[in-house]
Amino acid sequence: MKKLLLATAATTLVATGAQAEDVNIGVLLGYTGPIESLTPPMADAAELALAEINESGNFLDGMTLVPVRGDSTCVDSAAATAAAERLITSDNVAAIMGAACSGATIAVLENVAKPNGVVMISPSATSPALTSIEDNGLFFRTAPSDARQGQVLANILMDKGITEVAVTYTNNDYGKGLSDSFISSFEEAGGTHTINVPHEDGKADYSAEVASMASAGGEVLVVLGYADQGGKGVIQSALDTGAFETFMMGDGMFADSLMADLGDFMGGSFGAVPWSAGDGAEAFTRITEAAGINGDSSFTRESYDAAALIALAMMAGGEATSEAAAANILTVANAPGEPILPGELGKAMQILADGGEIDYVGATNVELIGPGEAAGTYREYVVEDADYETVQFR
Amino acid sequence: MEALNAIVALSNFVLVPAIAYGSQLALGALGVTLIYGILRFSNFAHGDTMAFGTMVAILFTWWLQSMGVSLGPLPTALLALPAAIAVTALLLLGTDRLVYRFYRAQKAVPVIMVIASFGVMLVLNGVVRLIIGPGDQRFADGERFIITALDFRRMTGLDEGLAIKTTQGLTLVTAVIVVAALFWFLNRTRTGKSMRAFSDNEDLALLSGINPERVVAITWIIVAGLAVIAGVLYGLDKSFKPFTYFQLLLPVFASAIVGGLGNPLGAIVGGYIIAFSEVGLTYAWKKVLGYLMPESLAPDGLVQLLSTDYKFAVSFVILVLVLLFRPTGLFRGKAV
């Protein structure tokens, strides 16, 4: 009991003592639920960016950024909303880095962020629905929208002169959203799709789906599924029956296991996958290795960039508020200005303090377009000798 | 030429897959119908019995493969069949001893037996997942194709290809052999005749000196054989995953009921009816009709009656229709 009292007293002391100088930043990710294995490295990366800024001591006259974690669960919108409420009302966060999944992100934005005027930057919500959502200028994301991926895929086909395709997608929000955006971009560019067939994951047999696609015809089969689930089953069945020989694959189909099993029969197939390359990605690898955290996991780069952007925008606005962040995120993220790589956040703070301009490059070559979402870089690949060969970056 | 192309396209995407699937369903339905005829209840555990048997066959196959044994162009799993059937037969006799015999002695009504089998199903479900895990297992080896689509096109010069997988050919051949052997056994042997007598009228069979426990034991052993063969063929042709075997229960029961529960011939016909309806109703007929009709009449749309999402619903609908209009099934089995 004595210890407990002591601990409580100490916490209160720290909390009150710190209040004057601290700015709380919510790190709202799905720590439990279907992506719970991805989120710890994501949170580490976001907190690494904040720690880097704190270390420099340049943030708004020595104020300290304090990350506060909240669990958005990914699947339970009510729990995500409650966690965000808690961050805003009881932890008094100035901005939220999150949420992780598209569904939770939409719920938090609609129910909590908008009414309270708190800015959100999601590192990993890719749903096209978030592009057109009414966000009062409060929502940004460092992950590219699947709408953009749909365009990239359509462009690849157009460049190859392919105008007629059959499409199959995994029957969930991701697959449906991606296939809708792909088809609308493709038809806008003058292509036609002969059929659009959903497939369920985890089935033993996809011959019925493949049979209808074969009947509908098309030069290539566009597979927007998962490499270790139905997407692979569809390709296997299509190869077996000789229905299609060439496939175009979305980002969920990028896996070494697919090449190991079917790569020998898929020569000439192609696709696209979000990719980070160049100085920013290398610098990020360096600093995460130095800090001893996992920087190779999915969306860690986007998480680092999201947290960095929040702080940089607040710095540019001159105050630790959501208004300042929302007004300046696009300015600090895009040209003109001094390019900023991961590990150079302290330098960026100094430039901003001196009244200069920065162009945050970050780990993912951040370039925010439209209503504030990453343009994203995609690697176009072609399958050769059961391996992925890079064609170009788009 | 056009007509040939139409026939080949139809064979490749409808006839060949449906015949293979139908044979697998027929073997599964034979097991269900035998249990219904002789033990007088619907065995809900049949799908998971198939999963269990296939799992044992997979384990034996892996062991054989590790010893370097192979059958050349045929899958090694065929060698594992006898052992798998023996283990599964022991399992079924064990569950009969532990569960069903108790209810039989009490002259329990069939619905109690059905619920008991439901419990057995849940236990088997867990056992299979504990031993081999819930994921996909591939155990097919040997030659993959009898003829590939590409070779066929090259040989015939047609636009359409016809692919026949080794496992599809194997399924049909095995099914024919097994069904012939089963009918010979039921119609020609003394044991088979005593089983049919027991099925027709239990009391009369008892009076004429047939040992009921022996009939029951032989039924379980035959059912084990049918379930394992059906499961292994399905797993070779598609892939093994405990959950998909559980889902097979629906089409298997639909086949048995459409044909008439308790009637072996009905189970076979039912299997093919369900398979052909599932594949045929969800097939887009555009290509086939395009070859057959003159150009001006060729369809623009897909000519697909049902989207492939509704594949499982087809068995449901047929089941409901049969139960509504002809509860005894096409071949006058027993009413459910």
d(CA B37, CA A85): 62
> Which amino acid does the sequence have at B260?
G
Contact A205 B21 (CB under 8 A): yes
B334 and A CB contact within 8 Å:
no
How confident is chain A (394 residues) per 10-residue block, as mean pLDDT?
A: 56 47 92 82 94 90 92 89 94 92 91 94 88 90 89 93 93 85 93 90 85 89 86 91 91 84 90 83 92 86 94 92 92 89 92 91 88 85 89 86
Q: Is B179 helix (H, G, I), strand (E, B) or coil?
A: helix
- B121-147 pLDDT, tens digit per residue, is 999 999 999 999 887 888 888 888 888
Structure tokens at B45: 């555990």
Burial grade of B203 (CB within 10 A; 0-12, 13-18, 19 or more): exposed
A12 within a domain of the structure (yes/no): no
- Say how many residues make up chain B: 336
The pLDDT value recorded for residue A154 is 94
Provide the residue type at A219 as one letter.
E
- Give the pLDDT confidence score for residue B27 in this predicted structure: 96
Q: Are residues A241 and A169 in the same domain?
A: yes
Give the H or E element holding residue A338. Answer: strand A338-340
Give whole-number Cα distances, A100 to A27, A92, A104, A366, in Å. 10, 20, 7, 18
CA gap A128, A130 in Å, rounded: 5
Residues A319, A257 share a domain: no
What distance in Å separates the CA atoms of residue B333 and residue B266, rounded to the nearest whole number?
8
Assigned token pair, B273: 């009816």
Provide the token pair at B85: 């059937």
Tell me which residue of B220, B247, B224, B238 sits closest to B47, measured CA to CA. Answer: B247
Question: Do B302 and A195 make contact, defined as CB atoms within 8 angstroms?
Answer: yes
State yes or no: pLDDT of B6 exceeds 80.
yes
Q: Are residues A225 and A202 in the same domain?
A: yes
Does residue B271 contact residue B29 with C-beta atoms inside 8 Å? yes
Query: Span B213-233, mean pLDDT?
Result: 95
Residue A143, SS3 per DSSP: strand
Cβ of B239 under 8 Å from any chain A Cβ?
Answer: yes
Q: pLDDT exceeding 90 applies to what percent of chain B?
A: 58
User: From CA A20, how far away is CA A26, in angstroms rounded?
Assistant: 18
- Please report whether residue A217 resides in a domain: yes
Domains held by chain A: number: 2
What residue type is assigned to position A180 of the chain?
Answer: D
A262 & A389 share domain: yes
Q: How many CB pairs under 8 A join A and B?
A: 83
Say if residue A141 is in the same domain as residue A286. yes
Report d(CA A121, CA B61) in Å as an integer.
Answer: 52
- Parallel, antiparallel or unpaired: strands A373-374 and A378-384: unpaired
Please give the Cα distance from A165 to B43 (Å, whole number): 46
Q: Residue B275 in contact with residue B21, Cβ under 8 Å?
A: yes
- pLDDT for A9: 54
A186 and A284 together in one domain: no
Measured between beta carbons, the chain B residues lying within 8 angstroms of A204 are 234, 238-241, 244
CA atoms within 13 A on the CB side of A305: 37
The whole-angstrom distance between B244's CA and the closest CA on chain A is 7
Q: How far apart are CA A111 and CA A113, in angstroms?
A: 6
**Closest by Cα among B199, B325, B318, B323 to B270:** B318
**B230 touching A (Cβ < 8 Å):** no
Q: Which residues of A touch B252 (CB under 8 A)?
A: none
**Residue carrying structure tokens 């079924």:** B92
| Joined tokens for residue A17 | 């003592």
How far is Cα A56 from Cα A355, in angstroms, rounded to an integer? 17
Are the beta carbons of B286 and A216 separated by less than 8 Å? yes
3-state SS class at B208: coil
- DSSP class of residue B309 equals G
Would the CB atoms of A241 and B239 count as touching at under 8 Å?
A: no
Angle between helices A345-353 and A39-56 (to 10 degrees): 50
- The side-by-side arrangement of strands in the sheet containing A95-98 is A64-71, A22-29, A95-98, A119-122, A139-144, A373-374, A368-369
Residue B240: pLDDT above 60?
yes
Contact B252, B313 (CB under 8 A): no
Interface test with chain B among A240, A244, A258, by most B beta carbons within 10 Å = A240
Q: CATH number, domain at A167?
A: 3.40.50.2300
Q: Are strands A119-122 and A22-29 parallel, antiparallel or unpaired?
A: unpaired
Q: What amino acid is encoded at A335 in this protein?
A: A
Q: What are phi and psi of B237, to 5 degrees?
A: -70, -40
Please report the pLDDT score of residue A18 as a whole number: 43
Please name the residue that has the structure tokens 């943030």: A59
Nearest CA in chain A to B137: A204
Q: Which residue has the higher pLDDT, B69 or A229?
A: B69
Whole-angstrom Cα distance, residue B257 to residue A90? 62
More confidently predicted of A379 and B88: B88
Dmax over CA atoms of chain A, in Å, equals 77
The CA–CA distances, whole Å, from B34 to A209, A349, B83, B103, B304 equal 33, 79, 22, 18, 36
Q: Do A215 and B308 touch (CB under 8 A)?
A: no
pLDDT at A13: 47
* More confidently predicted of B289 and B173: B173
Instruction: Say if residue A127 is in the same domain as residue A158.
Output: no
The chain A residue lying nearest B279, using CA atoms, is A208
Burial B256-277 (b: 16+ CB within 10 A, else e): bbbbbbbbbbbbbbbbbbbbbb
Question: Does residue A26 belong to any structural domain of this protein?
Answer: yes
Distance, in Å, from the CA atom of B34 to the CA atom of B41, rounded to the nearest integer, reads 10
Residue of chain A minimizing CA distance to B235: A204
Measured distance CA(A118)–CA(A94) in Å, rounded? 7
Coil, helix or strand for B240?
strand
Residue B65, chain A, CB below 8 Å: the answer is no
Paired residues of B50 in beta bridges? none
DSSP per residue over B261-307, as a string?
Answer: BT-HHHHHHHHHHHHHHHHHHTSBTHHHHHHHS-GGG--SS--BSS-
Q: Before B6, cis peptide (omega within 30)?
A: no
Question: What residue of B is the nearest CA neighbor of A229?
Answer: B136
For residue A356, being part of any structural domain is answered with yes
Tell me the residue type at B127.
Answer: V
A83 in the same domain as A33: yes
Cβ-based neighbour number of residue B209 at 10 Å: 7
Enumerate helices (H) and strands (E) in chain A, giving the number of each. 15, 16
Token pair for A380: 């176009």
Kindly list the residues from chain A whose CB atom is less than 8 angstroms away from the CB atom of residue B311: 208
The chain A residues in contact with chain B (CB within 8 A) are 171, 195, 197-200, 202-205, 207-212, 214-217, 233, 240-243
Cross-strand partners of A249: A223, A271
Q: Tell me the shortest Cα–Cα distance from A322 to chain B, in angstroms.
A: 46
Question: What's the Cα-to-Cα distance from A163 to each of A37, A151, A379, B134, rounded to whole Å?
Answer: 40, 14, 21, 41
Pick from B5, B13, B160 the residue to mutate for testing the A interface (most A CBs within 10 Å): B13
Residue A314 pLDDT? 94
Distance between CA atoms of residues A104 and A141, nearest Å: 14
Q: What is the mean pLDDT of chain B?
A: 90
Residues A215 and A326 in one domain: no
Rg (CA), chain B: 21
A212: chain B residues, CB-CB within 8 Å: 282-284, 302, 304, 308
Domains of chain B by residue range: 20-249
Q: How far is B332 from chain A (nearest CA, A)?
A: 31
Whether residue B218 is predicted with pLDDT greater than 80 in this model: the reply is yes
* CB spacing of A205 vs B288 below 8 angstroms: no
SS3 per-residue string spanning A4-25: HHHHHHHHHHHHHHHHCCEEEE
Given this model, what pLDDT does residue B131 score? 95
Residue range(s) defining the domain that contains residue A90: 22-145+278-374
Please, what's the b/e burial string for A205-221 (b: 16 or more CB within 10 A of its CB; e: otherwise)?
A: bbbbbbbbbbbbbbbbb
A5 assigned to some structural domain: no
- Determine how β-strand B164-165 pairs with β-strand B145-147: antiparallel
Q: Chain A within 8 Å of B148 (Cβ-Cβ)?
A: yes
Q: How close is the nearest chain A Cα to the Cα of B112, in Å?
A: 32
Q: Are A204 and A305 part of one and the same domain?
A: no
The mean pLDDT of B26-38, rounded to a whole number, is 94
Query: Which pLDDT does position B285 carry in this prediction?
Result: 86
Question: Is A235 part of a structural domain of the chain?
Answer: yes
- Say if residues B330 and B265 touch (Cβ distance below 8 Å): no
Q: From the candidates B277, B308, B312, B314, which should be mutated to test the interface with A, based on the most A CB atoms within 10 A?
A: B308
The yes/no answer to whether this complex scores an ipTM above 0.90 is no
